[in-house]
Amino acid sequence: MRSSDDAVWRDVHRGRVWRAQACRIVAETADVIALWIPAGSPAKVPSGGLRIPCDEWELVDTAPRATQLCLARPGRAHSVYVFWDGAWELDHWYVNFEQPLRRSPVGFDTFDQKLDLIVAPDGTYRWKDEDELEQAAALGLLDAAAVRAEAARVLEEWPFPTGWEDWRPDPSWPLPAFPEGWDVV
């Protein structure tokens, strides 16, 4: 896969796709993986709003409502998303704590660590899904202390702005599509 190729960002649990998001590779270097996820691009999520992985689930179609750019630093246990409003003004940053992205033949795999951080353009922030972090830890799905340590590291490093806020997709790009084999782990 090259820059400008379609790919899939997958949340993988117990050898199965838990969530999937079609995206376009914008950059893949030793320093950053950048994935464009436009509003309306195809995605799959567990049916019924299921938020904590369990033994059985079925995926249903969905799509993000906002355009975003996922920025992951190889080896780091989080990604930073840049969200824009409809006029391409910065809306907010969203830090998703997750296992470091792993390359797959169709894109990138991870496992969500539940905790999220939302940062406004003025630098104010709030935590999201702390209850889900504790529920997932109680089920043995993750190490809450390790996730909180990564969260403290993000706050200490303060990666905002990311340097990608003025990036724009090529206007000729169509919505990304799921590559063939997106569901094979």
Residue 151 has pLDDT above 80, yes or no: yes
Percent of the chain with pLDDT over 70: 98
Catalytic residues: 128
Residue 106 has pLDDT above 60, yes or no: yes
User: What was the pLDDT predicted at 2?
Assistant: 55
Question: In this structure, what token pair is assigned to residue 83?
Answer: 């969200």
Residue with tokens 């990604």: 79
* Interval 18-33: pLDDT, tens: 999 999 999 999 999 9
**Average pLDDT of the residues in 57-86:** 96
Three-state secondary structure call for residue 149: helix
Q: Determine the topology of domain 6-157 in CATH.
A: FomD barrel-like fold (2.40.380)
Helix axes of 130-138 and 144-157: crossing angle, nearest 10 degrees: 150
User: What was the pLDDT predicted at 70?
Assistant: 98
Task: Report the candidate in 65, 62, 71, 53 with the shortest Cα–Cα distance to residue 17.
Answer: 53
User: What was the pLDDT predicted at 44?
Assistant: 98
The whole-model pTM stands at 0.95
User: What was the pLDDT predicted at 49?
Assistant: 84
**Average pLDDT of the residues in 134-153:** 96
- In terms of phi and psi (left: phi > 0; alpha: psi -120 to 50; beta: otherwise), the region of 174 is beta
Q: What count of Cα atoms within 13 Å lies in the side-chain half-sphere of residue 112?
A: 21
Question: In this structure, what token pair is assigned to residue 39?
Answer: 């509003």
User: What was the pLDDT predicted at 4?
Assistant: 66
